[in-house]
Structure formats: C-alpha cells, structure tokens
Amino acid sequence: MKNGKLLASLLASVMVLGSAAGCSGGTESASSQPASSEAPASSASSSETAASSDAAGGEQLPGSGKTIAFVPKQLSNPYFVAVKDAVEAAAVENGFEFKVNSPDASTEVDKQINICEAFIGEGVDALVLIANDATALVNVVNEAAEKGIAVFLVDSGVDESNYISYIGTNNYDGGVMAAKWFGENVKGQVAVIDGFAGNQATTDRFNGFMDTIKEYPDIEVVTSDYGNGDMATSMTVAENFLTAYPDLAGIFCCDDFMAQGAGQAVQAAGKKDQITICGFDGSPEGAQAIIDGVMDVTIAQLPATMGRMSVESIIKHMNGEELEKVIYTPCEIVDKNNAQDYLTWH
C-alpha cells in the first residue's frame, strides 16, 4: 500500500497543471469492441444509412461528406460506451460518417496514440478523443491540428496543445463535492482509492477531495492507493485498508468501478454498517450498487450529454463559430433517494 501516494499525487498534479480537467478511470482488460493499434475500425453501418438518406432526400445535412473519428480510453467500461453511443447517434443524425476504435485498456497509451495516428492518416475531419494520458497525447493532438483535423477532448484533458475545446466534467470540483458530502455525513478515518498515475481525471478528483477534506476536523485521511480503475484491484486495495485501519469510517473512490470493488470488500468483512463508500461517475451499475447497499453515494457525470455536445461543437466549429476552450458539464450527487433515476446514463 502506497502511503507515500499523497505526496506523489501532489507532484503529479503540478506536472499536469496546464491541462484541462477531465474522466472515468476504468481499465478493464477486455474491450467491448475489438481494437487494433494498426488501423481504425471501419465506420458503423448506421452512418452509411444516414448518408444515403441525406442524398435521397436532397437535404444537405451539416456532416454530409465529413467523417468523425472517436477514440476513447477503452470500451469495456460502460461509461465510455455511453459517450460513444451518444457521439455516434448525433453524428449519424447530422449526416457524418462515424468511425471508432480504442485500446483494450486505459493503460495502453501507446496503442491509443497509434489508433489516433491511423485516423489522422485517413484524413478524418474531426477527432473526438478521451485521452489515456494528459502528457503523452500532446504530440498526436498537435499532429492532427497541423493536418487540419479538429480535435475535441471529452471527459479527460490533455496538456497545452492545439485542440479546439475540452467538453466534460470539472473533475476537481467533483472531488470538492465528494469531500463536502463526506464532511456532512462521515466522521473518523477515511481512505481514498485513486485511478492511476497520469490519469488527469482521477488526479483532479483526488486533489479536489484532498484540498477540501482538510476543512473538516472530524475527518482524517489515513491512507490512499491506486485502484487502476479496476474492480478486482480495488477490492484488494480496500481489503488492505481494512486490515491496516480496522476503525475506518469511509472510502472515497475516484470511479464507480473501484467503488463497487471496495464495497464488495467491505460487505465481505461484515463492516457495511461501519464504512461509507462513495464513488464517482453516476453509472447505472453504480446506481444499482447504491440500491443494493454495496455503495452509499456517487458523484454523477453526464457522459451522454458530453457525447452529444461534442458533435454539436464540431458542427459549430465547421460553421466558423468561436468556441470556449473549456466547456464544463455539471456533476450531481446520487444517493439512495434518487438512485432509481440514474439506472440509465444522463
């Protein structure tokens, strides 16, 4: 367990200070859609239907003859699938050809770079990117911009580079929201499960939480560790927490996958009445876990909204409109009182 992680996180946050805030940090090992580091996946058949309908009706849709490529962190986490579905639906509705490809895991930074470079080589018109690493993706973003490809970042930021807009959660503020909820509902020792080093989104959530929780004297953060956005890993991390700190009162997890793993560890130890579990994402699975008593609360993001807004922003950019560099979508608290409303993505 990395008790020195708190210092490491602060150093990491300084390194990525210039980036926009950003995402869910999941790193499940198998993608829901096969990915390749050699070439992008072919476009969805629905986009071809949209193009033919456009031609048959004689109406010129905004995306006619243009292509949007979408490259998420991975596609085994339902959060990223929700973003993909929204981008695809909006793209097809507006006449774009839609293409998608992703790494198998959020830790596969080099594979994500290769996928982006392949799409750049194809000459797509716009690239919607959920970056796996805030620093490593800078060059590929700039390369796309040099080729006249409009790059829009969704959910996870990239360090200073030539993207058009970042669209997503203010993850630091989301961490602040989680800390305030803990301050009002928990007393005693608290632990934190972060995503992984280099993940801008979970780093921002961690920092927002840590900067705010110190305002509450009844709470002591005793330890933290990386869960790598993985449910099984986070379950093991939480088990280690429970062994080292038997009086633990709460665990803040920087995404819902990790919160579910931590919640399972707490249930197995028979300490559900003692320990409060908070996640981050507002996933349908997280909402169900709250209903089932595995989790207590989550900070909800709006991935479907982000996906739709990315396509709307692409159209505005292509029409010559000036866009804000950062476009934030809100966070909301989900608990047992409203979990039923979050059994589908917002």
Is 168 in contact with 328 (CB distance < 8 Å)? Answer: yes
Q: For the segment 222-244, what is each residue's pLDDT rounded down to a tens digit? A: 999 999 888 999 999 999 999 99
Query: CA-to-CA distance for 310 and 257, rounded, in angstroms?
Result: 25
pLDDT score at 196: 84
Summary mean pLDDT of the chain: 87
pLDDT score at 45: 33
pLDDT score at 76: 87
- C-alpha pair distances (Å), 304 with each of 24, 62, 78, 311: 13, 21, 11, 11
Query: CA-to-CA distance for 63 and 73, rounded, in angstroms?
Result: 25
Pairing between β-strand 276-281 and β-strand 297-300 as defined by DSSP bridges: parallel
Residue type, 45: S
* Three-state secondary structure call for residue 223: strand
pLDDT score at 94: 98
Q: What are the φ and ψ backbone dihedral angles of 23, each rounded to 5 degrees?
A: -160, 175
> Is the predicted pLDDT of residue 13 greater than 50, yes or no?
no
> Is the predicted pLDDT of residue 3 greater than 90, yes or no?
no
pLDDT score at 32: 35
Q: Percentage of the chain with pLDDT > 90?
A: 77
Is 284 in contact with 334 (CB distance < 8 Å)? Answer: no
Q: For the segment 149-165, what is each residue's pLDDT rounded down to a tens digit? A: 999 999 988 999 999 99
Domains in the chain, CATH or no CATH each: 17-168+303-329 (3.40.50.2300), 171-301+335-342 (3.40.50.2300)
pLDDT score at 129: 98
* Three-state secondary structure call for residue 193: strand
57 pLDDT tier (thresholds 50, 70, 90) = low
pLDDT score at 58: 61
pLDDT score at 12: 38
The residue with greater pLDDT, 41 or 186, is: 186
Q: For the segment 284-299, what is each residue's pLDDT rounded down to a tens digit? A: 999 999 999 999 999 9
